[in-house]
Amino acid sequence: MAEADLMSSPVGQKPVYWDPYEPEVFANPYPMLKRLREEAPLYYNEKYDFYAVSRYEDCIAVLGNRDDYISKHGGVIEVMKAGIEVPSGMFIYEDPPLHTAHRRFFTKVFTPKHVAALDTQIRDFCVKALDPLVGGNEIDFIEHLGAEMPMRVIGMLLGMPEEQLKDAQRNVDESMRTEPGQQNENSGDSLAGEYYADFVDYRIKNPGDDLVSSLLNTPFDDDKGVTRTLTRAEVLSMVALIFGAGNETTNRLIGWTAKLLSERPDDRREVHANPAMLPEVLEEVLRYEPPGMYIGRTVVRDVEFHGTKVPAGNALLAIVSAANRDEAKFPNGEVFDIHRGRQPHLTFGYGFHNCLGNALARVEGRIAFEEVFKRFRDWEVDLSRAKMSSTATVRGWESLPARI
């Protein structure tokens, strides 16, 4: 076991060991993450060969510094270790100058107007999904809402027809799924966006009033200062990015909100009586149960944390799920408190790559639960039938049945 694994474990306790794939830790990672913050603020995992920081300030130091930490080798352990050549356009895994050019371009074509325009469609979808459940005795927050709504919202945004949307979703699910305790060997498969080729080709021939048509036809200044439009390959990767980044993550947010409120009847009734609290409640859900456990970077210059060197070339994870409960930043960080107010949690990342879909995810969560609360004041999740998803990177529920 490496030196950092053993750092200052109290006498009588097992050394700190954090394996993000280990089913028991995956089911409830927080006791171990607390120990990481306290006992091994720089942690090294020998089995998967990665370093990790878990304190808030350390995560900020990593995510806010793109000279020493880069994204181009990926942000999840499997991709980083597989040595996958990330295709151009998957800008979550790019560095300057290409990242700067692609991100600037994307913020030009994906504006707050797009998000606002989706408002009514999101609500209509939720109404259609929830109305048939009224008068019954069960809802599955994932089957009826989480697995459906964010996917359709991405479809609305991209202008993708229903059948293609479902196919794409199936492919992405398959590329993300892991056996319990195992790494995902297919994690690089979806990056080039070949699943979306038919659809993008259709839009090349039939431009419309949708995001993909804007991606295809809006000129931008690329990393070499040349004014051009995106190549077909870049568009495919950007579609894959939006699909991958905006779908399962928001699904997990819906699941965690339902579960946390199920377990807290007083909070639930308070929100039911005052749905204007929902944005604040969702912030606390995001802080407390972030869909993404960590954000990975590759170290390009030797760096040091807490007296230990991390040599260049290593994978370093900023464990945002641990940072979000760091007592130094969030008093009573282990407590879920719907009155905490908006807090600078790291669930959407920090700095250069921070999430460009955060406003959309927040709108989706708010509208979903506004519509839930219009119909149901009480629900109780049946944990004996609920199932956690087996994707190691985006932690949450695959089915979440609840009595209503």
Residue 221 CB, shortest distance to ligand HEM, in Å, is: 17
Supply 332's token pair. Answer: 């009573």
Size of the site for ligand HEM (CB under 6 A): 25
Which is nearest to 7 in space by CA: 326, 309, 16, 29? 16
20, 188, 291, 396: residue in contact with ligand HEM (rule CB under 6 A): 291
How many Cβ atoms from other residues are within 10 Å of residue 370's Cβ?
A: 15
Rounded distance between C-alpha atoms, residue 228 and residue 83, angstroms: 30
Q: Which of residues 222-241 bind ligand HEM (CB under 6 A)?
A: 241
Contact call for residue 20 and ligand HEM (CB under 6 A)? no
Q: How far apart are CA 31 and CA 4, in angstroms?
A: 18
What is the Cα–Cα distance from 301 to 303, expressed in whole angstroms? 6
Check: CB of residue 375 under 8 Å from CB of residue 134. yes
Query: Does 264 engage in binding with ligand HEM (CB under 6 A)?
Result: no
Binding range to ligand HEM, per CB under 6 A, among 26-34, 195-203, 306-314, 346-354: 346-354
Which of 133, 233 has the CB closer to ligand HEM? 233
Pick from 122, 168, 172, 360: which binds ligand HEM (CB under 6 A)?
Answer: 360
> Whole-angstrom Cα distance, residue 153 to residue 121?
8
Asked if 193 touches ligand HEM (CB under 6 A), the answer is no
Q: CB 137: neighbour CB atoms within 10 A?
A: 8
Closest CA to 392 of 185, 170, 241, 144: 185
Pick the piece of the chain touching ligand HEM (CB under 6 A) from 227-235, 266-274, 329-337, 348-356: 348-356
For the four alpha carbons of 193, 194, 195 and 200, in that order, the dihedral sign comes to positive
Identify the burial level of 359 via C-beta atoms within 10 angstroms of its C-beta, where 0-12 means exposed, 13-18 middle and 19 or more buried. middle
Confirm or reject binding of residue 71 to ligand HEM (CB under 6 A): yes
**Alpha-carbon distance 140 to 125, whole Å?**
16
Q: Is 249 in the site for ligand HEM (CB under 6 A)?
A: yes
Closer residue to ligand HEM, CB minimum distance, 199 or 348: 348
* Interaction of residue 215 with ligand HEM, rule CB under 6 A: no
Query: Beta strand pairing status for 138-140 and 401-403?
Result: antiparallel
User: Based on CB atoms, which residue is closest to ligand HEM, 16 or 200?
Assistant: 200
Query: Least Å distance between CB 196 and ligand HEM?
Result: 15
- What minimum distance in Å lies between the beta carbon of 142 and ligand HEM? 14
Q: What does DSSP assign to residue 9?
A: P
Is residue 155 close enough to count as binding ligand HEM by CB under 6 A? no
Ranked by CB distance to ligand HEM, the top (closest) residue is 357
User: 228 with 373: CB under 8 angstroms?
Assistant: no
Q: Which residue has the tokens 């690329």?
A: 222
In angstroms, the CA 23 to CA 296 distance is: 20
Closer residue to ligand HEM in complex, CB, 41/75: 75
**By the rule CB under 6 A, 349 interacts with ligand HEM:** yes
**Structure tokens given for 261:** 């409120």
CB of 150 to ligand HEM, least distance (A): 7
Position 281 contacts ligand HEM (CB under 6 A): no
Instruction: For residue 250, state whether it binds ligand HEM (rule: CB under 6 A).
Output: yes
Residues numbered 96-125 forming contacts with ligand HEM, rule: CB under 6 A: 103
Question: Other C-beta atoms within 10 Å of 25: how many?
Answer: 17
Binding span for ligand HEM by CB under 6 A among 36-44, 166-174, 176-184, 247-255: 247-255
Q: Which parts of this chain interact with ligand HEM (CB under 6 A)?
A: 71, 75, 91-92, 103, 241-242, 245-246, 249-250, 253, 291-292, 295, 347-349, 353-357, 360-361
